[in-house]
Amino acid sequence: MKNFATDYTDFIIFMILNGCCLLVAFWCLASYKNYSNCNLFLGIGIFGRFKTSNQYIKMEELLAFLKDEIGFDEVFEDSDIERDLGSTGDDFSELMEKYALRYNVDMDSYLWYFHHAEEGLSGMSFFSRPNELVKHIPVTPRLLYAFAQKGKWDLAYPEHELPKTK
């Protein structure tokens, strides 16, 4: 006859540890969009995918990221990424996607047409493009750095109206 206490010790320990992991997971999820509580548990593999705080990133790291992605040797904190560094259209969009992923920035409120042109030639359409209907707002490394630290794109855009169809 098997003794439950001795024969199933490994199973019991396994279940206790898994129960603790579930409690930690629920604690992290209960923190809503502030996933910095999970920083305590990043040593556990399953928590590596949670969003972490960016308060410790350095401007130099962000500038190096931009240099690598854009291909410029010199990028300054106040460089307009579109106008000074020449990144526009799909290249700009891809850069912003990589930025959001690398620095865990929530981009839900990001409006591309304030910051860069669409891909392609402007004169080939009878209709104005969205970026031609609003005033350009430069995206600079300083701006990217501030929003990376916040963890979300937090720009107050001016009121505007775009046509519903082209």
| DSSP string of 16-28, one letter each residue | HHHHHHHHHHHHH
pLDDT digits (tens, 9 = 90+) for 100-142: 999 999 999 999 989 988 876 555 556 677 878 889 999 999 9
Select the more confidently predicted residue: 22 or 96. Answer: 96
132 with 122: CB under 8 angstroms? yes
Q: Which residue has the tokens 């279940």?
A: 15
106 DSSP β-pair partners? 152
Q: Specify the higher pLDDT residue, 6 or 129.
A: 129
Q: What are the phi and psi torsion angles at 13 (to 5°)?
A: -60, -45
Least confident of 20-34, 63-77, 83-97: 20-34
pLDDT at residue 16 is higher than 90: no
Q: Are 85 and 72 in contact, with CB atoms under 8 Å apart?
A: yes
Whether 37 shows a pLDDT value over 80: the answer reads no
Predicted local confidence at residue 7, as pLDDT: 57
Q: How far is CA 149 from CA 15, 27, 39, 115, in A?
A: 38, 22, 15, 20
Q: Looking at residues 90-95, what average pLDDT do you find?
A: 94
* Average model confidence (pLDDT) across the chain: 76
Q: What is the mean pLDDT of residues 8-17?
A: 62
